[in-house]
Amino acid sequence: MRLAAITDAKASKVATGAVWVLLNRSASLALAFFGQVALSRILEPLDFGLFAKAMALTDFVFLFWAFNFPTLLIALQDRSEIENVVTTMAAAVAGLFFLAGMALSAVLGRFYPYEILLLFRTLCAIRALEVVPAVLGAIALRQLKWRQWAVVRAVATMISVVAMIGFGLMGLGAWSLVVGQLLSLLGTLLGYLVITDWHYRPKVRGDTLRDVARFGSRMFLAQTLENLLHRADRMVLALTVSTSALGYYDRAQYLLMIMCGFITDVTWNVGLPLYAGLGTDTRGVQRVFDLSNFVLIRAVLGVAILFAVTPEVIVGIIYGSNWLPVAPVIRCLAIGLLAYVFRENAKYLLTSAGMIGRVAMVKAVQVLAYLVLLVVSIITWGILGAAAALSCGLVIEAAGLMYYARRLVTVCWGRDIALPLLIGAAAAGAGIVATSVLGNKFLGAAGMLALYAGLLVVSARGQVPQVLMPGKKSLEAR
């Protein structure tokens, strides 16, 4: 059965886009896995803590970086000169935030040593410049150059990982992580410039600028609240826990972000352009939504049960035995990882439909609840409390966004939620029993994943055709 048949004309591109995005994520995850295995045996928790502390301090500057320029470019792709307008605005905002960072560094000099201040200033510059390749990448995706986009990302990741390992071996410590970020930035910037074949013109159309400003202002609250959600934990921990403890939390959150990045890549790079392009084609939107949920929930749930049942195996493979204090933190993030799938798919569906106000309202409720949980949890349980609060916040947001998404699509609760959860619970239970019987967590984890995959294959036999090519009757029934 051909994947291209899952949608009407516009949505037929989903197969090509999904394949290249998934290939890119697979290659990037493999490279990141190799890099983390090497770096965890080269750098100390203190090195990761120094980098995390400097990055958390930059969050105080970039908290209000609430203009998601790539999303603006995709959502308003039919406006005249949209690329030039978005690039001009992005460059101007990046300059303002960099200057704000330099001003804040003068204040921080009274409280932090010079090493952290230098890391802070360098990371401010890198984070400000990152908006340029992000916009260029969105232009490449708008041109449907998924293959070239994936190659650029993979090559930039490879250069970054090799550089981090090399500089780590040279004894640069936390600075090896900074060099890796800088080379990744430069690699994607140069690569996107080549593949887009697009030349910037500073001329800005007034009507397009007004549309961008209007749409961006509606996104501002939602994006600011999202920034607060992702950064509040590190910002609070940077002020309350030791540098080494922050290093442990940073490594646990890094593993969560690997998977969240995979989810976002699929939903943003494939889902959002298709949702926006399909417009009022409700059948096409329903099919894209179904396919996204069907694939992502099942793929991510396998990792989530590893997080929950045998996190020591993940930590031992990636970071080594010296990092075992990270394992309990990872266990607390398992539920949040699964909730992230529902959150991202529903968020981009609502964004493409212009329901930014609903997204912002859900985000406001979530962040309010999350901040209360975060402060209480950190005071009570430290980094474990921060991880648990983050998972609770993601669950709250996913529930709110799915509530409003039901106005646009029909959610297949049995197929996409209840059935995978039952399979995951059965596999997790078997994994716990196998681990206790065999006395080996690695074998228990391997058996658990094998059982999970087998149950998925058996259960998906009659469901795949319905997701890929639903008949007219089934669509009307929904």
The sign of the torsion formed by the CA atoms of 319, 321, 323, 324 equals positive
pLDDT at 1: 33
Stretch 469-478: mean pLDDT, rounded?
45
pTM over 0.85: no
pLDDT digits (tens, 9 = 90+) for 188-240: 999 988 888 777 777 677 777 777 777 777 667 767 777 777 788 988 998 88
| Phi/psi of residue 117, nearest 5 degrees | -65, -40
pLDDT of residue 49: 93
Cβ atoms of residues 14 and 274 within 8 Å: yes
Q: Give the pLDDT of residue 198.
A: 75
For the chain, the helix, strand and coil percentages under 3-state DSSP, each to the nearest 5:
85, 0, 15
Q: State the pLDDT at residue 230.
A: 78
Average pLDDT value for the chain: 83
Alpha carbon distance 64, 291 (integer Å): 34
Cβ neighbours of 326 (radius 10 Å): 27
- Taking only the tens place, the pLDDT of each residue in 280-307 is 788 888 888 888 888 889 989 999 999 9
d(CA 217, CA 290): 30
According to the model, what pLDDT value does residue 7 have? 45
pLDDT digits (tens, 9 = 90+) for 76-125: 766 777 777 778 888 888 888 899 999 999 898 888 888 899 999 999 99
* Cα–Cα dist 174/178, whole Å: 7
Pick left, alpha or beta for residue 144 (phi over 0 → left; psi -120 to 50 → alpha; otherwise beta): left
Query: Does the pLDDT of residue 5 top 50, yes or no?
Result: no
**pLDDT value at 466 more than 70:** no
The whole-number pLDDT of residue 473 equals 41
Measuring CA to CA, which residue among 208, 176, 183, 65 is closest to residue 133? 183
Helix axes 243-266, 282-309, angle to 10 degrees: 150
Radius of gyration, CA atoms only, the chain = 22
Contact present, 207 and 93 (Cβ < 8 Å): no
Instruction: Please give the angle made by the CA atoms of 155, 55 and 119, to the nearest 5 degrees.
Output: 85
Backbone angles phi, psi at 81, to 5 degrees: 55, 30
